[in-house]
Amino acid sequence: MSGVKGAILAVGRVLDRAFGWETPPPRLTGAQVLQIARAAAEEQGWPWVEGEQVLVGFNPGDRHSAGVWDIFTNANYRGGNITMQISDGTGAVIHKGFAPY
């Protein structure tokens, strides 16, 4: 990591703590989220293509969990993509969509 990026991250962490923006660690693991997402895709009859992108993001409305997981399949290509958002607090699918080829 370059010195500038490290400094920016350090300042960001200080500001997070100062303003109370620091989030707790995620309740779910990436593997659990993928399992939930695969089951939801299977229910819809959507094809699951490897090359997943899984990110956890902060939800300012929920101070008790890390927020929302974003899942994107076939991440290196356009088409054949499943997108989902899963609540870290409940494990519920908040949003799901499919872009066919």
Domains of the chain, CATH where assigned: 25-99 (3.10.450)
Q: Which of the pair, 63 or 96, is modelled with greater confidence? A: 96
Query: What span, in angstroms and rounded, lies between the C-alpha atoms of 67 and 89?
Result: 7
pLDDT band of residue 1 (cuts 50, 70, 90) is: very low
Mean pLDDT of 72-92: 93
pLDDT tens digits along 25-68 = 788 999 999 999 999 999 999 999 999 999 887 665 555 556 88
Query: What span, in angstroms and rounded, lies between the C-alpha atoms of 51 and 37?
Result: 14
pLDDT band of residue 95 (cuts 50, 70, 90) is: very high
Name the pTM for this structure.
0.72
Q: What is the pLDDT of residue 101?
A: 84
Query: What span, in angstroms and rounded, lies between the C-alpha atoms of 44 and 35?
Result: 15
Instruction: Please provide the DSSP assignment of 16-56 as one string.
Output: HHHTT-PPPPPSS-HHHHHHHHHHHHHHHT----S--EEEE
Distant-in-sequence contacts of 37-42, Cβ < 8 A, 24+ apart: 37/71, 37/82, 37/84, 37/86, 37/93, 40/84, 40/93, 40/96, 41/73, 41/82, 41/84, 41/96, 41/98
**For the purposes of burial, counting CB atoms within 10 Å of the CB of 26, is it exposed (0-12), middle (13-18) or buried (19 or more)?**
middle
**Percentage of residues in the chain having pLDDT higher than 90:** 48
